Structure 1
Amino acid sequence: MTVLSRRALNRALLQRQFLLERADLTALEMIGRLVAMQAQEPNWPYVGLWARIRDFTHADLTALLAQGRVVRSGFLRSTMHLSAADDFRRLRPVLQPVLNRTADSAHFRRNNAGLDPETLVAEGRALLRTGPLPRKELAGHLASLHPGLDSRVLAGEVELRTPLVHDPATASWGGWGTRSSIIVSAAPVEAPQPAALRDLVRRYLAAFGPATVADVQAWCGLTRLDEIVSDMGPDLRHYTGPDGRRLLDLPDVPLPDPDTPAPVRLLPAYDNALLGHADRSRIIADADRKHVTPGQARVLPTVLVDGYVRGTWSFTAGDVRLAPFGSFSRDEQQAVDDEISRLLPFLSRR
């Protein structure tokens, strides 16, 4: 089997993430090509699309959210993502075991011990049957049914165990950070289809491959995918990674030249290009990961130089502030400054 270097894997990832060259795709097409975009905080997916789409504007995504063609909900790894509504309906049931596992964790069981999950979900669905509800109201109603239990934990478990989507206003561009008031509504999904899991693996490889089974599992949160991938084996291409592990890929996707130039890119917080693999050395050095993920639930915005994470950045008081991991060459610094100048007007829009 062909052995791929880390640089070859880096350029493959950048190409499939549309970070080698901005694409002439719509926001809906791009979100579909990436499968989903992590959206812990609503503004960051806008920055991720700006980094990937030529001439992207805020209105391009805001309109899709308002039309219900893109939704924000718990999805991959039980975290908030934007996904195309059609993908959400088909793939959320495939990912439901991951969200159920999170709902079964000690955080929820300590509060909701003795409360049957099916009963709680049925109560939540009944409350949402008449239409959208502010999450705080949903929590309050559930707390009145179960005095003494933490209302936020009750509502959080309902949101994990049943597909709820956020209203467009709280999922769209606005103030930075998380939103204090979120309205949720029940969303229809399809019955789980056996082919949907294989489709999820293929979609992953198209956006993140070549990759190992462990990479696929780290990205989506599902486990025990070896048998599924093994059954798909004859339809996949196989490589060997720099560490000797077997890599899987789609058979008809060419790999770019490892020497392809990679432009500077400013990636948003929580960008899946950084979170899509168990082994992230193809885009960030292991020693630098602690600078990007200073807390368990935080992933800072990053600067790519020559395709690799070389620092973090923040948007503070109307300015982009860099925190490089080392020095840049004069040409690298100029390229970073130029990209910041292009991004600033986009970030500054109110």
Structure 2
Amino acid sequence: MTLSDNHIRAVRARAQLLGDPAADVVSVVRSVAAIQAQSSPAARLAIRARSRGLTAPDVDASRAVARTWLMRKTLHLVPSADLRWLNRLFGPRNAQAGRGRRRQLDLTDELCERALRLLQDLLPGKALTRQEIVDGLAADGIVLDAESQAPAHLLAYAANRGLLCRGQDAGSEPTYVLLDEWTTEDDTPDEPETELAQRYLTAYGIATAEDFSAWSGLPLGLCRKAFDALDLASASNGFALSQTELSAFPCPPRLLGAFDTYLLGYRDRDLLLDPAEAKRVNAGGGMIAPTVLVDGRIAGTWHTKRTAKQTKVVVEPFTSLSRSAISGLESEVNDYGRFLGEAAVLVM
């Protein structure tokens, strides 16, 4: 089926819940397959844009979702019920890929295995910050430079081995808990790669195996095999699940946070973001700025300026916006303030 660019964007935005928000945290996360969670504030905003009535504390308090290192060796927020099988799919790959960097940090295989045994004694019944873990390991003879990347890589290795995951943040500090204490569910699908491909296409609407590989970090051959196992319909720019409704209305204007999943799901972003403006969104170093979405296309960036009385949401559009788009963004800013419990005002 041949679809216009506007039509494809509308289908993708609807798949991302940007036009039809969900009512709870886990429904959002399950619907979009996974949310990048290197930044906790950005992950919260990804959920805000796809939900109704939730607040930031609602997101933080949910144990129905969990964070660990998965796609592209990066922290992602996923349903807790899927944590184990996703960890088995990505963990061994991530652990092997990180071995060279661990060696550079003097994290030998022997030291890592010893640290895992100590963490099994250190973490039960607790949610510890990175510094608390560093201190606990030091008390048992494993001394790590807290200012180096060694603690982070050791914790990622422990997560990839299925020992721990991220817990709830303690203020601005992440904590770490035993995976067995966060979730006991373990319902591994018969074909994990195919299951993930199904969820990916549910979340991204119309895409290719190359897109799936770029998003997941899995080998392209494996991604093509997973696509071949699905019942797909050919559509412009790729494939969709056969049950996907390939008709949709443009979504309302949205304020997307940094690293938003809407931009991270495709190898080629040209349909969503004018290449001439790409550096305003991704200036390098893997950073994806908070963006303004209008009719399914990135129409600008935004940032905040906070004072004691209010938060100014400063929108910097790429071109002039229509009156209806600005009105929609005013509603978004109001909801942003409600979500964070702040008085917020739009500044163009």
- Residues 1:227 and 1:329: Cα distance change in structure 2 (over 3 Å): closer
Amino acid at match of 1:127: L
The change in CA–CA distance for 1:192 and 1:262 in structure 2 (over 3 A counts) is closer
Q: Structure 2 length normalisation: TM-score? A: 0.83
1-structure distance, mates of 2:207, 2:151: 36
Instruction: Select the residue among 117, 130, 136 that pairs with 2:131.
Output: 136
Distance 1:33 1:230, change over 3 A: closer
* 1:323 alignment partner, SS class: strand
- Please, which of 306, 328, 333 is the counterpart of residue 326 of structure 2? 333
Offset at 1:252? Answer: 1.0
1:200 match: 196
Q: 2:316 aligns with which of 323, 338, 344?
A: 323
Q: SS of the counterpart of 1:32?
A: helix
Q: Check conservation: 1:209, 1:249, Cα contact below 8 A.
A: yes
1:299 and 2:288 are equivalent in the alignment: yes
1:51 counterpart letter in structure 2: A
Shift of the alpha carbon at 1:141?
A: 5.3
Partner residue of 1:4?
A: 3
Per-residue CA deviation, residues 259-283 of structure 1 (Å, 9 max, x unaligned), is x232110011111111111112232
Q: Secondary structure at the match of 1:320?
A: strand
Query: What is the CA–CA distance in structure 2 between the aligned matches of 1:191 and 1:32, rounded to whole Å?
Result: 15
**26-35 vs 136-145, greater mean Cα deviation:** 136-145
Q: Per-residue displacement from partner, 1:49-96 (whole Å, max 9, x unpaired)?
A: 2222222233432331xxx32222222222222221111122121122
Q: Secondary structure at the match of 2:169?
A: helix
Whichever residue aligns with residue 221 of structure 1, its letter is G
Q: Distance in 2 between matches of 1:226 and 1:148?
A: 38
Given residue 22 of structure 1, which amino acid in structure 2 is its aligned partner? P
Conserved 8 A contact 2:36-2:75: yes
What are the equivalent positions in structure 2 for 1:1-350 lying under 5 Å apart? 2-23=1-22, 25-64=23-62, 68-105=63-100, 107-112=101-106, 115-116=108-109, 119-131=111-123, 132=126, 133-140=128-135, 145=141, 152-163=148-159, 164-170=164-170, 179=172, 181-188=173-180, 194-223=190-219, 224-229=221-226, 231-232=228-229, 235-241=231-237, 247-257=238-248, 260-317=249-306, 318-349=311-342
Cα distance in 2 between the residues matched to 1:168 and 1:226: 32
Distance (Å, rounded) in 1 between the aligned partners of 2:74 and 2:42: 14
Q: What does residue 244 of structure 1 align with? A: none
1:97–1:238 CA distance, 2 compared to 1 (3 A): farther
Contact 1:125 1:186 in 2 (8 A): no
Shift of 1:202: 0.3
- SS of the equivalent of 2:206 reads coil
Rate the CA distance shift 1:20–1:187 in 2: closer, same or farther, 3 A: same
Per-residue CA deviations over 1:263-314 (Å, capped at 9, x if unaligned) read 1100111111111111122321222221112231321111111211111111
Q: Give TM-score scaled by structure 1 length.
A: 0.82
By how many angstroms is 1:111 displaced?
Answer: 1.9
RMSD: 2.8
Q: String of CA shifts for 1:164-197, please: whole Å, max 9, x gaps.
A: 3223134xxx6xxxx3x33212314859765122
Distance 2:157 2:339 in 1: 36
Q: 2: CA distance between counterparts of 1:226 and 1:38?
A: 20
Shift of 1:13: 0.8
Within 2, Cα distance between the matches of 1:341 and 1:193?
41
SS of 1:129 mapped into structure 2: helix
In structure 1, the residue corresponding to 2:319 is in which secondary structure?
Answer: coil
* Residues 130 and 176, structure 2, Cα contact 8 Å, conserved in 1: yes
Q: Provide Cα deviations, 1:86-117, integer angstroms capped at 9, x if missing partner.
A: 11122121122442254135x4332237x22x
The letter of the residue matching 1:14 is A
The worse-fitting range, judged by mean Cα deviation, of 261-270 and 41-50 is 41-50
Summarize the Cα distance change of 1:183–1:332 in structure 2 as closer, same or farther, 3 Å threshold: closer
Q: What is the one-letter code of the residue matched to 2:203?
A: A
Partners in 2 of 1:161 and 1:191 — Cα distance?
A: 23
- Contact 1:94–1:192 under 8 Å retained in 2: no
CA deviation after TM superposition for structure 1 residue 346, in Å = 2.6
Post-superposition CA distance 1:219-255 (Å, at most 9, x none): 111113245235415x2223342xxxxx232111111
Q: Distance in 2 between matches of 1:156 and 1:192?
A: 28
Percent of residue pairs bearing the same amino acid type = 28
Further displaced range: 54-63 or 189-198:
189-198
Q: Report if the CA contact (8 A) 1:319-1:344 is conserved.
A: no
Aligned residues of 2:14 and 2:251 also touching (Cα < 8 A) = no
